[in-house]
Amino acid sequence: MHVRWSEAELKFRDEVRAFLDAELTPEMRRATALMTSVYAPHDLATAWQKILHARGWAAPAWPVEYGGCGWSAAQRYIYASELAAAGAPPLSPMGIGMCGPVLIGHGTAEQKAHFLPRMLSGEHLWCQGYSEPGSGSDLASLRMSAVEDGEDFICSGHKLWTTHADAANWIFCLVRTSQERIPQQGITFLLIDMTTPGVSVSPILMLSGEHIQNDVFFSEVRVPKANVVGKIGEGWTVAKYLMEFERGGGVATPGLKARLGRIGAMATAEGLTGDHGFMARLSALAIEIDALAAVELQILSNLSQGDAPGAKSSMMKTVGTEISQRLTELAVEAAGVYAQPYQPHATRPGGPTPNYRPPADQGHVGPDHSLTAAAKYLNDRAASIYAGTNEIQRNIMAKAVLGL
């Protein structure tokens, strides 16, 4: 696919490049290159968000009246492409990318006025309370209860696989406010302050040894009814709206292209350019990423006109995560024996590695380009599960697109 940008769009691209040259420090670029998770370390993401917020560029997809940029689909794609090419760290998606669009679409005026500015500034760091023991892919079977008590709900239950709950100060949750014959009914979308008495967090360590995921326990937590987004008992509708943005409302393919380029550079450094099998698989991924980019541009255009991504979000999530996993496999292959040592001290993990003790000399084994290969591979095994398993996404596409 070849995209020809207009003169105005090329001028915008140059503006973004100049901004990145001036504001994205070598230390930030280096830290981003050493990331092992899809999530940046908190200090890195927070520092970069403050810079973007000062420029007014923290939430490009939001409407202008809420602090967004009012950019076209082409500008948003150019912006994401330049960020990826420059090695800018990603922002946490839970607030700006997920809860923010939900509040803009379903929140009250008071909720928008209170929460949206704090998302943009980074004062509020959000996490997502959806999955429960026994309620992952079958999310409608969730059991966390919210019992009405005057102007409040009393919430009790257990959420798990909650990314960055150990650092977040707010969580958006799906809770059960009534038992109905149809399980999707009686669910409410609720915003909960993580500092409220009765909320506790316990770490879950990933295959890579990183503490990114958490169990979150709620023991008679009092939450104002004013924190309900949408209507009581109709949270499933709000959640489906959010999931469309989580799965396909952002800009993913520039990041995939940047990673593809880095693996190509690894192949050159490791003498793999003569390995026709390896290079053929790399070229096949390049073609698939270009095809996915064409769909993504269409989705962005639809979003710019006020449309939700719909079933295309399931396709973006499925294809994008499976391409991402194949990229990690090629990176491990290119790294060869240097993928074997476990040395998170030489990288920037997405969270603490509590059971690891770094060597006294802080040295590392192997070339820099191989340092993150194994950890990224291990982290990305979850990509086809989170935000709804890819099997579930195929069911959605079969029903919504094919009518099966």
User: Could you tell me if residue 353 is inside a domain?
Assistant: yes
Same domain, 304 and 384: yes
User: Which two three-digit tokens encode residue 263?
Assistant: 């693996």
Domain containing 227 — which CATH number?
A: 2.40.110.10
Q: How many domains does the chain have?
A: 3
Residue 394 lies inside a defined structural domain of this protein: yes
- State yes or no: pLDDT of 1 exceeds 60: no
In a domain, 72, yes or no: yes
The residues with which 158 forms a beta bridge, in sequence order, are 217
Of 202, 217, 238, the residue at which a domain comes to its end is 238
Assigned domain for 35 exists: yes
230 and 294 inside one domain: no
pLDDT, residue 348, reads 94
What per-residue confidence (pLDDT) applies to 316? 87
- Is residue 305 pLDDT above 50, yes or no? yes
What percent of the chain lies above the pLDDT cut of 70?
A: 96
Residue 2 lies in a domain: no
Q: 142: Cβ–Cβ under 8 A, 6 or more apart, which residues?
A: 130, 132, 135, 157, 174, 175, 176, 187
pLDDT (0 to 100) of residue 403 = 87
252 and 214 in a common domain: no
- pLDDT at residue 248 above 50? no
- Report phi then psi at 395, rounded to 5: -65, -40
149 beta partners:
152
Do 384 and 247 lie in a common domain?
Answer: yes
Residue 280: CATH number of its domain? 1.20.140.10
Determine the pLDDT at residue 237: 92
Q: Are residues 95 and 148 in the same domain?
A: no
Residue 1 maps to a domain: no
Residue 25 sits in the same domain as residue 11 = yes
- Residues 272, 225 within the same domain: no
Say what the pLDDT of residue 156 is: 98
Please name the helix (run of DSSP H) or strand (run of DSSP E) that holds residue 292, with its range, or none.
helix 276-304
Do residues 54 and 196 both lie within one domain?
Answer: no
Q: pLDDT tens-digit profile of 10-68?
A: 999 999 999 999 999 999 999 999 999 988 998 999 999 999 999 999 999 899 999 99
Q: What is the pTM of this model?
A: 0.88
Q: Contacts from 324-329 at CB under 8 Å and sequence distance 24+?
A: 324/256, 324/259, 324/380, 324/383, 325/380, 325/381, 325/383, 325/384, 326/281, 326/285, 327/256, 327/259, 327/260, 327/263, 327/285, 328/373, 328/376, 328/377, 328/380, 329/377
pLDDT tens for residues 335-390? 999 999 999 999 999 999 998 998 988 889 999 999 999 999 999 998 888 877 88
pLDDT value, residue 4? 79
CATH code for the domain in which residue 56 is found: 1.10.540.10
Distance CA(360)–CA(283), nearest Å, equals 41
Strand, coil or helix: 199? strand
Euclidean distance between CA atoms 112 and 117, whole angstroms: 8
The fraction of the chain above a pLDDT of 90, given in percent, is 75
Residue 224 shares a structural domain with residue 246? no
pLDDT at site 54: 96
Report the chain's mean pLDDT, rounded to a whole number: 91
Domain housing 59: 7-110+115-119
pLDDT tier, 135 (very low <50, low <70, confident <90, very high otherwise): confident
Rounded-to-integer distance, Cα 28 and Cα 205, Å: 26
Check residues 297 and 379 and name the one with the higher pLDDT.
379
* Rg of the chain (C-alpha set): 21
Does one domain contain both 154 and 51?
no
pLDDT of res. 176: 97
List, for residues 194-242, the tens digit of each pLDDT value.
999 999 999 999 888 999 999 999 999 999 999 999 999 999 999 888 8
Provide mean pLDDT across the span 320-343: 95
Residue 332 has pLDDT above 70, yes or no: yes
Do 79 and 168 belong to one domain? no
* Domain presence at residue 253: yes
| 173 domain-assigned | yes
Lowest mean pLDDT among 117-131, 307-321, 364-378: 307-321
More confident residue, 138 or 359: 359
Q: Are 115 and 103 a contacting pair, CB within 8 Å? A: yes
Per-residue pLDDT tens for 266-283? 999 999 999 999 999 999
pLDDT at 139 over 90: no
**What pLDDT is recorded for position 123?**
95
Q: Does residue 286 sit in the same domain as residue 308?
A: yes
Domain boundary among 89, 119, 149: 119
Identify the domain boundary among 69, 96, 119: 119
